[in-house]
Amino acid sequence: MIDYAQGNISEAFNSMLRADYISLNDIEKLNLLSRYYVDYFGVLPEVLSDTDQLIVGRRGTGKTTLVYRAFVGCMESWNDEHPDNIAPKARTLGIYVDLSKCQYIDDVPDGDFAAFEHAFVSEVCDAIGDQLTRFWPALAQEPGFFAKLFRAAESNRVAEVRGVLDRIGQLLREGLPRVVDQSAPIQAKDVMSSTQTRSAELGGSINPTEASVATKLNEGKSDSQSTERSYSTRTSYRLTVSDVLRILGDLREKAQLSGTYLFIDEFSALSTDLQRRFSTLLKKLLGSHAGVFVKLCAITDKYTLGSSIILQRDLFELSLDLDAFVERSHSLNDAMDGLRDYSEKIVRSRLQAYSCPPPEEVFDELDETYKLLSKSAMGVPRTLGIVLKQAWSRSRQGQERKIRKSDISSGVRYASTAYLNQLIGAARDGVAIPAFHADMWNALLTRAQQEKAKVPEAAASHFLILTRNEQMLSMLNMFFLVHLLTKGRTTKKERSTRSLYCFDFGVCEENNLGFTTDKNVIRQQRFAYDDALVRFEKYFGVTAEATFRCPQCGTVYSESELVVAGTQLSFCPRDKADLVSQAGAVTGAQYTEEETKIIGTIRSAGRGDRVFARQIADDVGCYVQKVSKFGEKLDRSGLAKREPDPTENKLFYYSGGSSKESSTP
């Protein structure tokens, strides 16, 4: 019986959805994370090394969980009994900054680089102060109190660090003078004077012989005007990267630090323009002589480092993606076995950490469960959490106390449908991503169904494409509808290098495609799908002609086809519906990967679905506050709608269109 642990099991499965729900001040939960974290390939020691790194992976692959675990490792390094042979080195300072929460960065005007630098460095200084207080709580107390807790020598060092913290506080209040300019006039004095004089004389004489009259008129006018303006000098205080490096240098000396690891998360949450500006700051941090090492987290294919930063020279890439998993495993079959083992370790460690019954008491068919979970997640722990959460919820509705295979299958279908809906909703009318991505998905799926029909007994779960066409599938890979497994594969008949992909396991189940890793099957020439992508190549070429799609009949027109008598039509010649550009999203709109998936989830939902912010956040992998704030923006722009639920004290979201688009291809 597992009724007594229902709350613990729910909490264990929910913990797989996001790690950054944990507050850095919650030491208990951070310690819990360190117990259940599974470092399957031993990447943690790499992160806890004196190296500048770029940690990449699709959303949900465990980047934040990894840096949280590394952050805990930095905290543990301050224990007196910290072993010398375990990373990190003793007395290593860890600083965590979440760029998605740095609201001042988004508020900085374009072109004001000094203000942008100041906003970021201010966040780092806040994090330094918070983290030192976590490491040395005595810093927040009176000297007489913490002197009793530490030895005399240690107390002296604490006092020195307290002085450095005072400097940080002073810098945040006053800063250092960086820019001196002349402010607008604050005192103005206009002086105007006018002088006017006028005189008149009249005289006359009369005698017997003549009479005379004489007049004299004198008039004078003088005007004078003067303006007095006094100016004051205004000094703008801006923190710079050099300031924070100097602070960390002082800390390294006074607190005897071995090093400082700066964990910068959610780099891809910044817009492309902000990423370029941030990369300029990052270059100043990399290779510094202050013992500061950067650990930057970004989503695969959703980041830009500019031309000044070179990978494997300035930053060393550490990938958490599936293709890196396969490469470390040396073969696809070994990788699939590894994924099963990985899924089992994650489930066991979570249940154990949250004081739950062992997996044997929670799941009905344990071995089959791990196989289904590994194929569904494909190395994405968040997908694992989504499937388990839905399976657990479904199992509570019946009489059975264990999670059955049918419950797991239901969770797999839910996750797959959620990802597909995100794509369809984002591509609907080309709002968040070009509409042709949905068409390309349908073309690939249709081709797989055709191949399956040719040989019903063989699976059609995998396909190969030429390396040059990889960029065409980056969006489908982002939505977890296809998974890149490995590069450098060839078919049995051709020597051309191709990349091996597989369809999402839920899609395979829903469309009866089967699933196999038999290389004698997946390397067959008939699974080379480049010909299915030919008609979409025009959207990715440098000189590609602009195209437009009719939302009603689905016809796609090239720009040249719409020119009539020198004028380009903006409507479909067949049904007069307004055409939608397929070149990109709405003009002027630029959405991050996170925002794109939020749009997709909302715009694929109907009013009757009652989709709340919490469900959207769990499916996408973001904060509830982000959904609420961004959903309000979509509501104002007419891209989505929200209403208060009559039975719940919260809002639900749905598409702003007139009808709900189907989620089936």
Same domain, 33 and 156: yes
SS3 at position 55: strand
Q: Is the distance from CB of 147 to CB of 154 less than 8 angstroms?
A: no
Dihedrals φ, ψ of 351, to 5°?
-60, -40
What pLDDT shows up at residue 397?
85
**Predicted confidence band of residue 35 (pLDDT cuts 50, 70, 90):** very high
Q: Is the distance from CB of 322 to CB of 313 less than 8 angstroms?
A: no
Least confident range from 19-28, 158-167, 267-276, 353-362: namely 158-167
Is residue 29's pLDDT more than 50?
Answer: yes
Same domain, 603 and 552: no
**Predicted confidence band of residue 445 (pLDDT cuts 50, 70, 90):** very high
Same domain, 576 and 485: yes
Q: Is the distance from CB of 57 to CB of 300 less than 8 angstroms?
A: yes
SS3 at position 389: helix
Give 371-402 pLDDT, tens digit per residue: 999 999 999 999 999 999 999 999 988 766 79
Q: Where does 68-186 show beta strands of DSSP type E? A: 92-98, 177-182
Sheet with strand 498-503: strands edge to edge: 462-466, 498-503, 482-489
Residue 648 is assigned to a structural domain of this protein: yes
Last residue of a domain, one of 385, 407, 425: 425
What pLDDT shows up at residue 199?
56
What pLDDT shows up at residue 71?
95
Last residue of a domain, one of 555, 581, 607: 581
What is the sign of the dihedral through the CA atoms of 527, 529, 530 and 534? positive
- Which residue is associated with the tokens 């990967």? 593
> What one-letter code names the amino acid at 37?
Y
d(CA 629, CA 631): 5
What pLDDT shows up at residue 204?
57
Give 464-484 pLDDT, tens digit per residue: 999 889 999 999 999 999 999
CB atoms within 10 A of CB 102: 20
Residue 217 is assigned to a structural domain of this protein: no
Q: Is the distance from CB of 265 to CB of 96 less than 8 angstroms?
A: yes
What CATH number corresponds to the domain at position 646?
1.10.10.10
Least confident range from 12-26, 101-115, 418-432, 643-657: namely 101-115
Through-space distance between the first and last CA atoms of the chain, rounded to whole angstroms: 42
Residue 184 is assigned to a structural domain of this protein: no
Calculate the average pLDDT of the chain.
82
CB atoms within 10 A of CB 488: 10
**What is the model's pTM?**
0.80
Give 403-423 pLDDT, tens digit per residue: 999 999 999 999 999 999 999
Give 281-318 pLDDT, tens digit per residue: 899 888 777 789 999 999 998 899 988 898 889 999 99
What pLDDT shows up at residue 143?
46
Between 172 and 538, the more confident residue is 538
d(CA 433, CA 24): 35
Same domain, 27 and 100: yes
d(CA 321, CA 633): 32
Residue 193 is assigned to a structural domain of this protein: no
What pLDDT shows up at residue 237?
53
What pLDDT shows up at residue 163?
66
The torsion of the CA quartet 559, 560, 563, 566, rounded to 10 degrees, works out to 120
Between 215 and 117, the more confident residue is 117
Same domain, 339 and 438: no
Last residue of a domain, one of 387, 402, 425: 425
Same domain, 263 and 123: yes
Query: Hey, which of 102-106, 302-306, 500-504 has the most confident mean pLDDT?
Result: 500-504
Peptide bond into 88 cis (omega under 30): yes
Q: What percent of the chain has pLDDT over 70?
A: 78
Token pair of 264 as six digits: 């910068």
Query: Hey, which of 149-153, 186-190, 289-293, 364-368 has the most confident mean pLDDT?
Result: 364-368
What pLDDT shows up at residue 223?
57
Which residue range(s) make up the domain with 551? 429-581
Q: How many CA atoms lie within 13 A of 445 on its CB side?
A: 22
What pLDDT shows up at residue 584?
43
Give 334-348 pLDDT, tens digit per residue: 999 999 999 999 999
Same domain, 518 and 494: yes
Q: What percent of the chain has pLDDT over 90?
A: 48
Same domain, 89 and 164: yes
Residue 196 is assigned to a structural domain of this protein: no
Task: Work out whether strand 556-558 and strand 547-549 pair parallel, antiparallel, or are unpaired.
Answer: antiparallel
Same domain, 649 and 637: yes
d(CA 606, CA 662): 10
Same domain, 550 and 622: no
Between 103 and 20, the more confident residue is 20
Residue 95 is assigned to a structural domain of this protein: yes
b (16+ CB within 10 A) / e for 191-217: eeeeeeeeeeeeeeeeeeeeeeeeeee
Token pair of 37 as six digits: 């974290």
d(CA 550, CA 573): 9
Between 90 and 228, the more confident residue is 90
Token pair of 555 as six digits: 């016809």
Give 168-210 pLDDT, tens digit per residue: 555 444 444 444 444 444 444 455 555 555 555 555 555 656 6
Give 202-230 pLDDT, tens digit per residue: 555 556 566 555 555 555 555 555 555 55
Residue 290 is assigned to a structural domain of this protein: yes
Helix axes 332-353, 322-329, angle to 10 degrees: 110
Structurally, the chain folds into a number of domains equal to 4
What pLDDT shows up at residue 434?
92
Closest to 124 measured CA to CA, from 139, 149, 104, 141: 104
Is residue 554's pLDDT more than 80?
Answer: no
Same domain, 421 and 457: no
Sheet with strand 651-655: strands edge to edge: 611-612, 651-655, 640-644
Residue 661 is assigned to a structural domain of this protein: no
Token pair of 408 as six digits: 């797991």
What pLDDT shows up at residue 110?
60
Same domain, 368 and 512: no
